[in-house]
Structure 1
Amino acid sequence: MSGTTTAGTQRSAGATRHVPGLPAAGNRWVVLGVLCLSLLVVALDATILHIAVPAVTEDLRPGGMELLWIVDAYPLVCASLLILFGTLGDRVGRRRILLIGYGLFGVASALAAFADTPHILIAARALLGVGGAMIMPATLSILRQVFPDRRERAVAIGLWTAVAAVGAATGPVLGGFLVQHFWWGSVFLINIPLMALILPVGRWLLPESRGGGQGPWDVLGALMAAAGVLGVVLGVKRAGGGADILDGRTLVPLLVGSALLILFVRRQKLRKHPLIDVRMFARPAFSTAVGCIVLAMLALVGLELVAVQYIQLVLGLSPVETGLRLLPLTFAAMAAGATGSYTLRRVGPRAMVSLGFTLTAGAVLVLTLMGQHDRPWLLTIGFILLGFGLQTTLFGSYESMLSEAPAEHAGGAAAIGETSYQLGAGIGIALLGSVMNAAYAPGLAAVPGVPSRDSSAAAHSLGEAYQVASQLGGPAGDALRSAARHSFVHGLHVTLFVSAGLLLLGALAALRLPRLMECGAREPDIADAADQAPPAQVPACREHAERAGSGRAVV
């Protein structure tokens, strides 16, 4: 390989040359730090409020529907606007959208922290969702632009996905600490100094980039996508909350949202300048990676929901103790993200994602050994395997999806990935929650000494069963409490077995991904790079050189 260098970039074989308008080699990692910090704040806000709900309820006295919207306004609005702002960033500038998102997030955080009525808090949470929808796809699309070399990009995506996992998992722990020592508004107030720091740094450091799209931006298509995703996610969330799937408030959003998304896809196929190039889904690697993200999030969020209920209601631990029990999952996810690039180069996307799913399924089966008594070491082992396996799966899926998408459609591809992430989370809560309820309720149908009316009320959830048991008192209350605990553990085991089956299905689906990592796609001397690359990288680079020589377009 020749010793040619450009723009001050000088590295060993396989390196990425400096691209005009993008940060030099050293600054790229500083940019990644800013992007990861941005994502950390957004991921924290997705879960940090959960632990503060009792304090919010006591202070603002919201009604049942208002409390539901306080919790759900952020993820619903964020999920519905990801495609809109991801594709808008491709047109007007990803950095511009990201900076506006920073500003909105800071303003909304201040509004939420000092909200004195439920309606103001709901509006603030919705505005936070708008800011989050601007930030999330922009961070991933800028990352795609800043790291054109796939090997460096794999390292960056590993850190990016690890930060997302850390934010979501540590949200309840941080929220519990803040609520315990301050007031509930502090869970929002911590965002303000972070945004005050990131906004000027991002404006100074982040590069501006746009896609290659021409022609007018499809406003109608963007609104159709937003309304469609909102309808589907809202319907799925209602179903996950225990609503009847045939209830009009659940079924209508699902049907209308699905219809709008179908019309959106048809519209994009017919337009000369589409928002999203739906032909990307014709690529097996792209569509498979998106499906794997949905399945992985389905398992992760559904299992976390059941695990939190188990730890708090069966083992009797406090919210802060529950958050601490989940920390091994977080640390394992960080380790998987940090080693993901090396693993991807060694085994390739197909084996990495498939093995990640298989490892997660094994972790789930380990957790079936949990009973009504605390086994901290068993729980820790299960969570470590779960975090490492799922993060490995998400890393390989995100890296394959983003590498398969053309650079000019990076914002749209990132939005699709993030929407899949949110949709998988919603489906996971709905599906695994329904399985849990179906397995739990029959065990309380006929508890000796307990009136049928009380048994029916206790069948709704373990928390409600405990309340009914306390009201009954005496032997009947003790019998109901014992039966509810046994039924919950039985339902937990059934849910875990269903999860393991879905994860093994994901392992099979991942076999459609490429066998080897195709690196250095846009380097003109890729064949020489393959000759001098480290042994672990040679097969992938050679395969790419052969395919590039045959005229096959590979990203």
Structure 2
Amino acid sequence: MIAMGRTEALVRRRWAVLSILCASLLLVSIDATVLHMALPAIAGELRPDATEQLWIIAVYSLLAAPLLLAFGTLGDHFGRRRVLVLGYVVFGLASVAAVLAVNVPMLIAARAVLGVGGAMIMPATLSILRQAFPDRSERRTAIGVWSGVAGSGAVLGPLLGGFLVQEFSWHAAFAINVPVMLAALPLTYWLIPESADPPEGRWDLLSALLAAAGVLGVAFAIKQTPHGGSMSVLGPAAGLAGVALLVVFVRRQRKLVSPLLDLALFRRRTFSVAVGSVLLVMLSLVGLGLLFAQYLQLVLVLEPLEAALRLLFVMVAAVAGSLVAAPLLRRFEGRAVTVAGFAAVGLALGAAALWLDTTENLWLLGPVLVAVGFGISVALTAASDMLLAAAPAEQAGAASAVEETAYELGAGLGVAVLGSIAAGVYTAAFPAVPGVPPREAELAGRGLTDAAEAASVLPEPVAGQVLDAARGAFTDGMTVALATGFLTFAVAAVVAARLLPKTGAAR
């Protein structure tokens, strides 16, 4: 618990506290996707093979997702600030290790430890936010800012990584973490008092291990199965094992007097729909964000900085949506705001699916990106507000961890599902180009980056024809992914309208 004096101090400093929490959250969100555009530079220096490249990207989220519930509930039991500060230390040291990495194993290990640090930071930020903003009206504004930062970080990651590689080196993608963590440590001790709301009973280590192993299996399946080869067998096997462990976890929670996660939370429709909303939003944001980043740089052939300026439409709109969401939630019920956010995103994705081609039309692209950023931010803010309101104080860390787990799994699903759809359509749509040898033709049919590699050894005008065909096939794949997003959000809007209660109150 927080002593009365500490509570008053925390509430008095709440906006400064929010700034610190959001700064650290932004880095954690960025690190999930920052290497998507920096990977070619890493490959050029460290020479990882294809499997090692997958692990460099995936290991961060694969370690973060399973540990969120454990660290979220540890904060409830033993102190949220304690877990947050330890997360800063781990994240900062792992960033230094990544900067100094001279080979692939060192970099993979550093990325894994970054995931552990991120798992400590993410649920602590949201549970402390709940303590700092006891008034729900103000808390909605704070959650809006938090949601906008979380979403913007996922979109900003690939472009920031590309920019830093272009201007400096891939090491800079990790070096930027260190000064922020160094500044956050003393500020956190100064501004944020320790808080805990330990439920009766001990913290159950076995439950934490079951949950971590189960989520790890599911996350591994989501991220690795689409890569084919041995992963087409290992991925589903890991997923089935993960589901089995989660079933054991659920059964154990039902038997414990003091469960690690109170399953009664999921019997509240508001809580369950809010978790599903977070998963859907992150699935679309990260999956389509990565496709848009590739479209801007590989189809429209923009430099990383130019592409980043286009994606500023999403970021600015997301910030605006996060600020507007609070007054919208005060004026309208949570159900209406969630449905409106889903509808805005769905309509924007549907419009993009109709006009997208290999030439840029900023008058169409800009409004689409604005609508997507605004709608996602509003929906994510509404979901976070309903989720926190539905959970009692002693389950704040657990509820935050559930949301963050949905965040990580949604991000993984976005890359896996939407990326697989786009890749499948690309392969089917890539035409035969006359004059291309069989080896280069097979390579170009795998994907747009592979087509660029194949074209590099071909003479003109054949090389240009291969690139034009690849850009057209990628655009076809992205169009289908956008149409899938439109249908998904249309269904989600209907489901939210039917299942969420008619008032903003949690039940």
- TM-score surpassing 0.5? yes
Residue 487 of structure 1 corresponds to which residue in structure 2?
Answer: 473
Q: What's the offset of the Cα at 1:244?
A: 6.2
Residues 357 and 390 of structure 1 are in contact (CA less than 8 Å); yes or no, is this contact kept in structure 2? yes
Aligned equivalent of 2:300: 315
Matches for 1:390-409 after TM superposition, within 5 Å: 390-409=376-395
CA apart distance, 1:277: 0.3
The alpha-carbon deviation at position 487 of structure 1 amounts to 2.2
Q: Are 1:23 and 1:207, in contact at CA under 8 Å, matched by a contact in 2?
A: no
CA gap of 1:466–1:38, structure 2 versus 1, over 3 A, is closer
Stretch deviating more after TM superposition (251-260 or 163-172): 163-172
CA shift in 2, pair 1:19/1:360, >3 Å: farther
Conserved in 1, the CA contact under 8 Å of 2:431 and 2:469? no
Of 18, 39, 49, which aligns to 1:53? 39
SS at match of 2:37: helix
Q: Give the AA of the match of 1:324.
A: L
- Alignment correspondent of 1:523: none
* CA distance in 1: counterparts of 2:24 and 2:445, whole angstroms: 42
Q: 2:314 matched to which residue of 1?
A: 329
Residue of structure 2 in register with 1:516 after alignment: 503
Q: Specify the code of the residue in structure 2 equivalent to 1:215.
A: G
What is the CA–CA distance in structure 2 between the aligned matches of 1:476 and 1:89, rounded to whole Å? 60
Q: CA deviation at 1:84?
A: 1.0
Deviation at 1:477, TM superposition (A): 4.3
1:370-519 correspondence to structure 2 within 5 Å = 370-444=356-430, 446-450=432-436, 454-474=440-460, 476-511=462-497, 512-518=499-505
AA at the equivalent of 1:277: D
2:162 and 2:290 map into 1 onto residues whose CA distance is 17
Displacement of 1:43 after TM fit? 1.7
Which residue pairs with 1:528 in the alignment? none
2:271 aligns with one of 286, 304, 310: 286
Question: Is 1:289–1:510's contact at 8 Å kept on the other side of the alignment?
Answer: no
1:491–1:338 distance in 2 versus 1, CA, 3 Å: same
| 1:243 equivalent in structure 2 | 228
Q: Secondary structure at the match of 2:332?
A: helix
TM-score by length of 2: 0.94
Gaps of 5+ in 2: none
Of 169, 173, 176, 1:187 maps to 173
- What percentage of residue pairs aligned between the two structures are identical? 46
The number of aligned residues is 502
Q: What CA distance in whole angstroms lies between the structure 2 residues aligned with 1:133 and 1:213? A: 21
| Deviation by residue 1:387-407 (Cα, 9 ceiling, x = unmatched) | 001111111111111111111
**Is residue 10 of structure 2 the alignment partner of residue 38 of structure 1?**
no
| Kept after mapping to 1: 8 A contact 2:225/2:231 | no
Tell me by how many angstroms 1:285 deviates. 0.4
Which letter maps to 1:126? A
RMSD across aligned positions (CA): 2.1
| Per-residue deviation, 1:95 | 1.1
- Quick check: 248-257 or 392-401, which moved more? 248-257
Q: Give a deviation string over 1:183-208, Cα, whole Å, max 9, x none.
A: 32222222222111111111122122
Q: 2:242 maps to what in 1?
A: 257
Q: How does 1:326-365 map to 2 (within 5 A)?
A: 326-365=311-350
User: Aligned to 1:225, which of 190, 211, 236?
Assistant: 211
Q: Which runs of 5+ in 1 are unaligned?
A: 1-17, 519-553
**2:58 counterpart letter in structure 1:** D
The structure 2 residue matched to 1:205, chosen from 178, 191, 206, is 191
Partners of 1:125 and 1:307 lie apart in 2 by: 25
Q: For residue 356 of structure 1, give the secondary structure of its aligned residue in structure 2.
A: helix
Measure, in 1, the Cα distance between the counterparts of 2:130 and 2:384: 11
Provide the rounded CA distance (Å) in 2 between the counterparts of 1:29 and 1:476: 59
| CA deviation after TM superposition for structure 1 residue 379, in Å | 1.1
1:29 matches 2:15: yes
Give yes or no for the alignment of 1:100 onto 2:93.
no
Deviation at 1:280, TM superposition (A): 0.5
For normalisation by structure 1, the TM-score amounts to: 0.86
Higher deviation after alignment, 460-469 or 378-387? 460-469
In 2, distance between residues paired with 1:470 and 1:61? 19
8 A contact 1:87–1:275 mirrored in 2: yes
- The verdict on how the C-alpha distance between 1:164 and 1:174 changes in structure 2, with shifts beyond 3 A counting, is same
| Equivalent position SS for 2:101 | coil
Partner residue, 1:145: 131
Q: Structure 1: which amino acid aligns with 2:291?
A: V
Conservation of the 8 A alpha-carbon contact between 1:169 and 1:327: no
Work out the CA distance in 2 between the residues paired with 1:446 and 1:40: 44
The residue that corresponds to 1:550 in the other structure is: none
**Structure 1 residue 304, shift from structure 2 partner:** 1.1
Please identify the structure whose Cα radius of gyration is greater. Answer: 1
Residues 454, 162 of structure 1: alpha-carbon distance in 2 compared, 3 angstrom cutoff: same
Instruction: Classify the secondary structure of the residue corresponding to 1:21.
Output: helix
Residues 506-527 of structure 1, C-alpha deviations (whole Å, 9 max, x = no match) = 1112122233333xxxxxxxxx
**1:238 CA displacement:** 1.2
- Alignment-mate amino acid for residue 501 of structure 2: P
* SS of residue in 2 equivalent to 1:22: helix
Structure 1 residues 248, 285: CA separation in 2 closer, same or farther (over 3 Å shift)? same
